[in-house]
Amino acid sequence: MTDLLVAEGLVRIYSARRGLLGKAAPVRAVDGISLCVRRGETLGIVGESGSGKSTLGRMLLGVDPLQGGEVRYAGTPMPPAGTAEWRRLRARMQMVYQDPLSALDRRLTIAAQIREPLDIHKIGDAAFRAARVDELMRAVGLRPDQAGRYPHELSGGQRQRVVIARALATGPDLLVCDEPVSALDVSIQAQVVNLLRNLQASAGLAMVFISHDLKVVRNLCDRVAVMYLGRVVEEGPAEDLFADPRHPYTRALISSVPEPGRPLDGRVILQGEPPNPAKRPPGCAFHPRCALATDICRGSVPQLRKAGPGRAAACHHFDGADAARAA
Ligand code: SF4
- Please name the residue whose Cα sits nearest to atom 7 of ligand 1: 287
CA 284 to ligand 1 centroid distance, Å:
6
Atom of ligand 1 nearest to the CA of 298: 7
CB contact at 8 A, 54 and 236: no
Substitution candidate for ligand 1 out of 304, 315, 319 with most atoms within 8 A of CB: 315
CA 289 to ligand 1 centroid distance, Å:
9
Q: Which candidate, 141, 97, 93, 132, places its Cα nearest to that of 111? A: 132
Residue 284 corresponds to which amino acid?
C
CA 32 to ligand 1 centroid distance, Å:
19
CA 148 to ligand 1 centroid distance, Å:
55
Atom of ligand 1 nearest to the CA of 290: 1
The confidence score (pLDDT) of residue 125 equals: 96
CA 50 to ligand 1 centroid distance, Å:
19
- Please name the residue whose Cα sits nearest to atom 5 of ligand 1: 315
CA 228 to ligand 1 centroid distance, Å:
12
pTM: 0.90
The confidence score (pLDDT) of residue 99 equals: 87
Substitution candidate for ligand 1 out of 290, 294, 296, 318 with most atoms within 8 A of CB: 290
Atom of ligand 1 nearest to the CA of 284: 4
| Strand order from edge to edge, sheet including 223-228 | 93-96, 174-178, 206-210, 42-46, 223-228, 231-237, 312-313, 305-306
Cα separation, 64 vs 176, whole angstroms: 13
Atom of ligand 1 nearest to the CA of 249: 6
The confidence score (pLDDT) of residue 37 equals: 97
The confidence score (pLDDT) of residue 258 equals: 72
Q: Which candidate, 182, 180, 185, places its Cα nearest to that of 162? A: 180
What domains does the chain contain, in order, with CATH numbers? 3-92+172-326 (3.40.50.300)
CA 243 to ligand 1 centroid distance, Å:
20
CA 316 to ligand 1 centroid distance, Å:
6
The confidence score (pLDDT) of residue 267 equals: 65
* pLDDT by 10s per residue, the chain, length 327: 799 999 999 999 988 766 666 677 788 899 999 999 999 999 999 999 889 999 999 999 999 999 999 999 999 999 988 899 998 898 999 999 888 888 999 999 999 999 999 999 999 999 999 999 999 999 999 999 999 999 999 999 999 999 999 999 999 999 999 999 888 888 888 888 988 998 888 888 999 999 989 999 999 999 999 999 999 999 999 999 999 999 999 999 998 877 766 665 566 677 777 777 888 899 999 999 999 999 999 999 999 999 999 999 999 998 754 444 444
CA 247 to ligand 1 centroid distance, Å:
8
Residues with CB under 6 A from ligand 1: 247-248, 284, 286-287, 290, 292-293, 297, 302, 315-317
CB contact at 8 A, 206 and 44: no
